[in-house]
Structures are given as structure tokens and as C-alpha cells.
Amino acid sequence: MSRATVELDFFGMEKANSSKSQFQKFIDRRRSFRGIQGAISKMNPELIKSVISSGSTNRSPVDWRKSFSVPSSPKEDRSSPVPSLPILNPALRASSEDSRETAPVTIFYNGTVSVFNVTRDKAESIFKLAVEGSSKNVESTDSLKVANPSRDQRNLLETRNGDLPIARNKSLQRFLEKRKER
């Protein structure tokens, strides 16, 4: 029995997935791991366990919207809310889907966690909205002359800086590693 699943790709395992979804290569492994670490470290461990277990069981008559709210950890200088994680890779795997069958989508946003049971179509619209939302923040008002729009958009979503993380000075790198051992 197959069912439509929308999965969170914590470790970037789906990098080479064959899904034809337009959100294919959403996020770099390292960035998603780092970002998740950040979000998870601010949350109640019991809460995390319940979210993960609820995502893996096969529930049919479930709450349409189960929302767990966790207070954000205090951050200074935050005039506008910052999403702690962009939406991750929706690896829509199952080959035969019932369009009305729902599956859980878990969204981490600004210190809150929400779980929704949605159909595949609804899930795709949510993702589309999120993509439009985040790309609007980065584009300037005096229109960016973008030669290759789809690639640039993909870049915004992969990591802040595409495939090239900001490189670190060798000596500083060694110091930061040695410091952990002290």
C-alpha cells in the first residue's frame, strides 16, 4: 500500500532524487542540518519526539490542524520575524496517489512547530506560497535584471550563497576547532 507522503529531508538524502517536482534540489545538506540544529535546540525535547512520531504513523481520521506552539527564544533586534528554516524537500514519492489522501506536513517557523494534514495539491500550494514569499524578500524594488530566473531562484533556496559557503581563514578554523577541545 502506498500513500502520498510529504517528507522532511533532514539530511539531504534526496539530492539525487528522480522526482519531477519543481522544488527538487531545495536545500543543501549542510545548511539544512545546521538550520535544523538551531531550531531544534530551542524546542522542548518531548515536543520534538511527539512531532516526529506523529509524522511517521499512519493516521486517517486525524485532526485537521494540530498546532504546537513553542515560545521563541528571546532574540534581540528582531523587528521582523525570521523564518528559522525554509520549507524542506517535499519528496513526493508514491507512484499512485489518491488526490484526496492526506499526509502530515510539519513546518518550523520562528520557534513554532505546526503539523497539518493536507492533500498533495494543498501541500504544493503551500510550498509555492513559501517560495514566492522568500524570493520577494530578496528581490529589490528596482527590478533585478536576472538573466536566468529559475536558476537564481533555486540559488536563493539552496543556501544563502548557492553552492559556495563563505570560506574561512585557515588559522581561525584551526583555532575554533582547538577551542572545542579545551
Binding footprint of other proteins on the chain (CB under 8 A): 30, 34, 37-38, 41, 76-77, 79-80, 82-83, 86, 134, 137-140, 142, 144-148, 151-152, 155-156, 159-182
Q: How far is the CB of 180 from other proteins (least distance, A)?
A: 8
Dihedral sign, Cα of residue 73, residue 77, residue 81, residue 86: negative
Q: How far is the CB of 14 from other proteins (least distance, A)?
A: 16
> Residues of 134-150 as b/e, b for ≥16 C-beta within 10 angstroms?
eeeeeeeeeeeeeeeee
Compare residues 5 and 84 and give the one whose CB is closer to other proteins: 84
Q: How far is the CB of 81 from other proteins (least distance, A)?
A: 9
Q: How far is the CB of 160 from other proteins (least distance, A)?
A: 3
Compare residues 20 and 145 and give the one whose CB is closer to other proteins: 145
* CB atoms closer than 10 angstroms to residue 163: 8
> Residues of 82-117 as b/e, b for ≥16 C-beta within 10 angstroms?
ebbbbbbbbbbbeeebeeeebbbbbbbbebbbebbb
By the 8 A CB rule, do 84 and 108 touch?
A: yes
Compare residues 46 and 76 and give the one whose CB is closer to other proteins: 76
Going by DSSP bridges, is the β-strand pair 102-109/65-68 parallel, antiparallel, or unpaired? unpaired
Compare residues 33 and 55 and give the one whose CB is closer to other proteins: 33
Compare residues 100 and 136 and give the one whose CB is closer to other proteins: 136
Q: How far is the CB of 137 from other proteins (least distance, A)?
A: 6
Strand order in the sheet with 102-109: 65-68, 112-119, 102-109
